[in-house]
Structure 1
Amino acid sequence: MVSEPSPWTPWGPPPDAAFIAQAGAWIGQAETAFTDLVWRGYAQLRTMEARFDTRDLERSITEQITAAIDDEVPGEAPYYVQHSPFERETMLAPPAQPPAYDLAFVMRADPRIMWPVEAKILITPKALADYVADVVDQFLTCRYAPFSPSGAMLGYLLSGAPEDTLANIAKRLGVRYTETTPLDTERPHRSAWHARTVPADKAYPSPFRCHHLILGFHGLSRASAAASI
């Protein structure tokens, strides 16, 4: 009996410099579309008057905003948006679990190529410890976005002014934003370039452009531990 060839194949050789350059070119073409889709998804949530589970507020918002972004992605787009995809390029040896992004735009032709987006609850414009840690410890070490020359952070702001938040982020990260004025007065959004620590045996892109998008969720608050029992 002759067995039929399997329709399933593993990934090919490890990504080389040419693969990473191609990934960067694709992301560069789509980067503006990605940030626009995030804002359009957020606008849809506002129109829907969405409700969130305050016991797990960050994940609850992220799940719903990912679904709203998905509604906005054109059917012919060469990418899709996914909640919590895994980054297997930088995972440790099995049985370790790979890192997972809050959401990412994923290339249909090769799902290893992703534009990652991380999100953090910001109780006030100064409550930035976890937000800054994600940039410094994840993106700038290449643990996140190893194939991408850019990515994004979403700040789910519960109180205070978005522009104050952006100013505080720049101060904490020690950067100057690429944009001297808002990209859009209705969209609190800036970006900055960072040098990354690239492993000696890798060709991951550096510098890295980090987008900072501040989405207002004023009036929400995390449920207290006592209230969750």
Structure 2
Amino acid sequence: MVRRRNIFQKRYPITGDFVELTKTWNPDAISILVKLVWEGYDLLVSEFLSQINCDGTEEYLEISITQALALKIDSSMTGYEPFAVKQEWYEFETSKSSRGQPPRYDIAFILRDNERIILPLEAKILKSDVDVTEYVKEINNNFITCRYAPFSSQGGMLGYLFSGDPNKAFINIETKVPCTLSNHPDFPTRDHKTSDHQRIVPSGKSYPVNFRCHHLLFKIIATPTNNISSVE
């Protein structure tokens, strides 16, 4: 069955790699992008999470944290970046069927000049530093298969860590993918590592084979209720 083109394919018939295209704006574009994510997390903690007792039992926990984070990332941006940030953005390129639901990213950085080109971030709740199964599945089943980030040689995983040691979580991720995690030189004080992979590119496609995954672990710490200011 021959798939019909969608409107994004019609508007942007020529694609490239998100990473290389943004380097024409700034050679450190990806570090700037990731810095925005960390700044968004800092705002999330100071302006949102510090005001509640988030114990990990709330409804729609992963989605709601991600929604709040995406807003904070957006507020950290200058408006001059060559990309926009959106929550729950669809990837039509790798949709298997016009009748099926296309993949949907938790957070997407979308190239303003070509909206088909996306650098995605996927988020997972980590109840503890050993709770990495679903996190690992996203890497192996989606990023390495090119289902996610077909037009980007980099992408990211966000781990919302509720308890345990980030270093132990990194060890468990490294073991279960498996992969080698390396420190990011631009973020030495953050719980941030990267892994490099050879992707499985579908026949007939020219997606980037070499892929770098950023791993950002965000500590989600419950705030004692007696420290939360009340509203009279």
Normalised by the shorter chain, which TM-score bucket? 0.7 to 0.9
Deviation at 1:183, TM superposition (A): 3.0
Q: CA deviation at 1:32?
A: 0.9
SS at match of 2:121: strand
Q: 1:213 aligns with which of 200, 213, 216?
A: 216
Mapped pair 1:20 → 2:12 = no
Structure 2: 5+ residue stretches without partners: 1-6, 224-232
TM-score with structure 2 length normalisation? 0.83
The offset of 1:9, in angstroms, is: 8.8
CA apart distance, 1:182: 8.6
Among 201, 204, 212, the alignment partner of 1:201 is: 204
**Residue deviations 1:42-89 (CA, integer Å, cap 9, x gap):** 000111133568111000100000000000011211111100000010
8 Å contact from structure 2 (residues 192, 214) kept in 1: yes
User: RMSD in angstroms over aligned alpha carbons?
Assistant: 2.2
CA contact (8 A) 1:78 1:108 kept: yes
SS of equivalent residue, structure 1 residue 125: coil
Q: Does 1:57 pair with 2:61?
A: yes
CA contact (8 A) 2:124 2:158 kept: yes
Q: Cα deviations across residues 75-113 of structure 1 (Å, max 9, x unaligned)? A: 211111100000010012212121100011111111111
User: Is the aligned partner of 1:105 residue 2:109?
Assistant: yes
Structure 1 runs of 4+ with >4 Å offset: 12-15
**1:117 maps to which of 121, 126, 130:** 121
- SS of 2:168's partner is helix
Percent identity of equivalent pairs: 36
Structure 1 gaps of 5+ residues are: 1-7, 221-229
Q: Tell me the TM-score normalized by structure 1.
A: 0.84
Residues 8 and 115 of structure 2 are in contact (CA less than 8 Å); yes or no, is this contact kept in structure 1? no
Name the structure with the higher strand share.
2
In structure 2, relative to structure 1, the CA distance for the partners of 1:76 and 1:172 (3 Å cut) is: same
Q: How many residues align?
A: 208
- Distance in 2 between residues matched to 1:180 and 1:145, nearest whole Å: 20
* 3-state SS of paired residue (2:183): coil
